[in-house]
Structure formats: C-alpha cells, structure tokens
Amino acid sequence: MKREIGRGRALLNNLYACRLLTGICPSLVVCQGLSQFFGYFEWLFYSAFFMRTVINSLESGAAFGRIMTFVVTVWIVFGSMSLYDSILNGHVYPVSRAVVNKGLYAILFKKSRNVELECFENSEFYDKYTLAMEKADERLIETVMAVFKTVFGAIASVCAFLFMYQVDPVSVLFIIFPVLGNFVFNRRISHIDYARNQDMAPHNRRIVYINRVMYLPEYAKEMRLTGVFALMKRQYREAITGLADVTKKYTKRAVILHWLYVMFTFTFIFEGLLIYGAYRTLVSRTMSLAQLAVITSMMVSTTWILIGFTESLTSLFKNGLFIEYLRTFLEYKEKIPEDHAGADPGTEITSIEFRDVSFSYKDKEVLSHLNMIFEGGRTYALVGHNGAGKTTLIKLLLRFYDPTEGVILLNGRDIREYNLKKYRALFATAFQDHRMFSMSVMDNVVMGEDIPEEEREERVTQALKLSGAYDKVMTLPKGIHTILTHEFDDEGAVLSGGEFQKIVVARVFVKECPFKIFDEPSSALDPIAEAGLFDSIYTTCRDNTLVFISHRLSSVQNVDCVYLLSDGTVKESGTHAELMAQGGIYADMYTKQAKNYLAIREESA
C-alpha cells in the first residue's frame, strides 16, 4: 500500500479535516482558533509592546499611578484570557471531545456498516480502514489544532520579524540561527528518527508479538508442555540486541545534529543577540534600555514561535497521511451499499435461479457459467471439494458480491433490483466461520432481530432446544442471560466449539424467514448429536427452503436435490439415489467416505 502523499495533497487533507470537524463540532473549532490566536497575541504583546511601554514610561519619568494603571489593565485582560484558556481545558474541550467522539464514530461506523464485504477482504482497503479508525477523534482534533498553530505561528513569525526590524534592523539577522536550527538540522533529525524507527520496526514487531503470546491463554498449554519458551526467550534477546544495534548505527549522526540544532536554535541567538545588544547599549550607546529589553524579549518569543511553527508544520504533513486514510475511507463509493433502496421482495420465495453466473475475485475466476435453481419449500445440498465455489455461491446469493457475469433471479426478478435489507431479511444463515459476541446467550441467538419482548425468551429457549444447546446453557450461572466470553465479564462462559456451533444454529431456528442456509452445521458435533440436529432441522423447517453446505455426504443424502460443484460450476445434480446410480464424482466421494466410516467403526470395535 502506498504510504506517501504529496505536500499539496497533505495540505488539502488538513483543510478536509477542518471541514469535517466543523461539521461535527463547530464550537470546538472556533475555540481552538481563538485559543491559538490569544496565545500568540499574548507572546507578541508582552515582548514587543508591554516591555517597551513600561521601560519607556520609567525612563521618561511618567507617573507611577499611570504605569500601574497600564500594568493592571494588561493583567486584567490577560488574566481573563488565561481564565478563558482554563475554562477551555477544564470544561469545553472534555465535553467537545465527547461530542467529536460520538459524531465522528457515528459517521465511521455508518460507513463501515455500509461498505460491501469485499472491502473487509481487501487487505489494502482494510489497512486504511483500521488506520482511519485508530484514535480517529483525537487525531482529528490534533490535526485541526496543528492547522491553527501553523497559520497563527506563520503570522506571529512575520510580526516578530517586523517588530525586531523596527527596533533594530541588524537584530533580524540573528533570526537566521533558529531558522537554520529548525528547518535544516531539526528536519535532518526527523529524517534520522524516521529511518531509525523503520529499521527498528521488525525488532519491535517481534517484541510485541512475544509480549502478546506470553499472556494469551490459547498459548499457555504449549508454553508449559514444550520447550518453546526457551525459543521465545532467545528471539526476545535477539530483538533487544537488534534494537541496540540500530541505535548504535544512528547515534553519532543524531548526537552531532542535535548539538547543531541546540547551538543554532538557542545558543547562538541568545548569546549573540545579548552580546550585540549589550555592546549597543553600554559601549556605543546607540540603543536604549527599552530597545534592549524589546529585542531580548523578542529573541525568546521568536525562537519559541519558530519552534512551534516548525513542529506544527511537520505535524501538518504527518497528519496529512492519517487524514488521507480517513478521507479515502469516507469518500469511498460503495459498490453494494447496505442502504441500497429498491423494490420490496415480499416475504415469499417461489424460486431463486442462478442463470449463467460467473464470478472472479482478484482476477481469479471462482465460478464459471454456473446454472442452478432453488425452488421454494424444497431442500438442497451443495457439496464438493474445498475451493469448488460453495461458499462463494452463498455470498453471491446473499449479495455480499455481485456476479461478474450472469444474473441471480428471485421470483423471476434480478436481485439487484430489490431493497437490500429487505432482500437479506428473507434469509437466515449459520456460517461455519461463526463468531460469538461478548453478550448474553439470548442476544447471541436473537442477534438484534425484531422479536417482541414478551416472545423473546420463549422463542430463544425453543431454538436452543432444537439446536441441542439448551441443556448446556441451563448449567450456566444465569442461563440464557449468561454473558459469553471473558471480554467484559470475568464470570462469562467460554463454550466448546460444538456448543458454540449449536448456538449459531439456534440463530437460524429463532429467525422467521422463508430461506435458511446451514454451512457445515454439524462439523464440530458427534454423530449422535448430528443426527438429532438434522432431525430438528427437517422437522421444524419443513415449510422453508433449506440449503446445506456439507463435506459429510451422509448427512445430506435425504435432501430433494444435491448440487455437486467442481471447478466453479455444477458438475452433477439430482437426488442422492440418482447421483449414486450415475457412478460419477458424487458416487466416488460418497463411497470413499463410507469406507472411512466403516474403517473407523471397525477400529472402535
């Protein structure tokens, strides 16, 4: 993935960040701008005007009361500005950050929910997505703050030069030192830091990996039963040694450049300008005490203004890359938007037809001119070796993808013409690569479906009984209200693979819809549990259209039609008996599996 962008694009991205934050929380943007303006104004006022006015008044013998009136007035004004800044940091910013967090992540979550599944399977897009999501609210606020710091820092730098030139034109020459320090030596230091971090990255990744592995429970058994701990320890030492070697590689250049940075940014201007001002004031007597006070004070302010300006300018380009990820993600045009409007498909399915469907993923053809039909109320099985295209076919059916060629028809109409949410509501699915959420058993079964509150518990209980998970769930501390996983609850339940699979199947039982898909629903179950599960499915879902994906051919021999897929297309179709009579691929697969079953039974006996 390309990790660099041009300076012009980086600056435009920062403006994009300002517009985005203004749309979410305009008051925060205004407050940030005022805060930076007041800060730079205070520096310049004290350095260029306040000190000169006080000293000139003292030298001219102005009345003490008049001087104190001016001082107190300035104190009140800047005290009010300080109070304003305290209110911002103590109240406005914390509240605004919460508003930004809520508003920005609402936008990001809506977008992530709306993009098609392909985006999450595309490593380049997914990298940008994760980088865009990582501390997005904090980084967006920091980016806008850097914009204001850069703008007002540039204005303040120009004003500082003008003030110093007005007092003494020669003194402006001393500004060359911090300019060189910040824009030459500090920039080279940044390049060295970047190169050093790049060289350290492999070693840091190894250290992070080892640190993570050492406390993850899934690695604990191997750590204790094998000698892998010694290997991990050796890798850790090698990584630490690698970091030390990288550090030595850059130390000499880094030390020299840092010394030059300090000398040019601070020492030469501070010492040089003080010596120059002292000579003009005490020896040649061509500079007044007020002028000396102004240029020495301006010296300090200008130096720190330049440092702040340099850092904020560097941040603009660095933040520009983050905003690029954010912007690319938010401006992405969805191919299959989740909020796609269209015709209402109704609630009945008479037929779903794949007509000459082909599909390619990353220039590799997965399905080729596939034809099949699912008639309402019948049962089907998709079988075939791994990579035959079974899972891809289901993804096309659910419109996670659209065919590269051909068309899928629901009740004779292209599924792309239907409202996507209403179309998908026709299906219930139990995927093989299921996931459990850190929620209660009930919520993991219901999965947000619109089930009346008074019916929910009864329907979930019935679904768990049908899937065979009920007895196990009732042994948990809070029954169906027990939280699954230990993510947020130390007393949460961690179930076995087979138990999890039963809860996933219960999701299909609890949902009322005409078409139900079971992807390897019994892969983690023993033969007795498998037989009971299929009996429950056939009995409970007899009015539904059922599709099974299974490698165990014995479990699907009672379906109305078997589609055998190979090389991305349908090679054979028919009932179990018809396919066995043909003596083709299906019959060969079934016979081999049957021999394996018999061999296992003989060994057990």
CATH architecture of residue range(s) 426-604: 3-Layer(aba) Sandwich (3.40)
Parse the chain into domains and list their residue ranges: 1-167+319-332, 169-286, 426-604
Three-point CA angle 6, 10, 15, nearest 5°: 150
Report the candidate in 402, 387, 308 with the shortest Cα–Cα distance to residue 354.
Answer: 402
For the stretch 144-168, pLDDT in tens is: 999 999 999 889 888 888 888 887 8
Confidence of residue 3 (pLDDT cuts 50, 70, 90): low
- The percent of residues above 70 in pLDDT, for the chain, comes to 97
Cβ neighbours, 10 Å, residue 170: 12
Confidence of residue 506 (pLDDT cuts 50, 70, 90): very high
For the stretch 550-593, pLDDT in tens is: 877 877 888 999 999 988 899 999 999 999 999 999 999 888 88
pLDDT of residue 602: 44
For the stretch 172-184, pLDDT in tens is: 888 888 888 878 8
| pLDDT surpassing 60 at residue 268 | yes
Average pLDDT for residues 329-343, to the nearest whole number?
87
Q: How far apart are CA 136 and CA 415, in angstroms?
A: 36
The pTM score is: 0.70
pLDDT of residue 601: 44
| pLDDT surpassing 50 at residue 545 | yes
pLDDT of residue 579: 93
pLDDT of residue 4: 60
Can you say whether residue 568 is alpha, beta or left, with left for phi > 0 and alpha for psi between -120 and 50 degrees?
Answer: left
Average pLDDT for residues 519-524, to the nearest whole number?
78
For the stretch 283-327, pLDDT in tens is: 888 888 777 777 888 788 888 888 888 888 888 887 887 888 888
Long-range contacts for 486-490 (Cβ within 8 Å, ≥24 apart)? 487/438, 488/438, 489/438
pLDDT of residue 197: 85
For the stretch 344-369, pLDDT in tens is: 999 999 999 999 999 998 778 899 99
- Whether residue 360 contacts residue 542, with contact meaning beta carbons closer than 8 Å, is answered with no
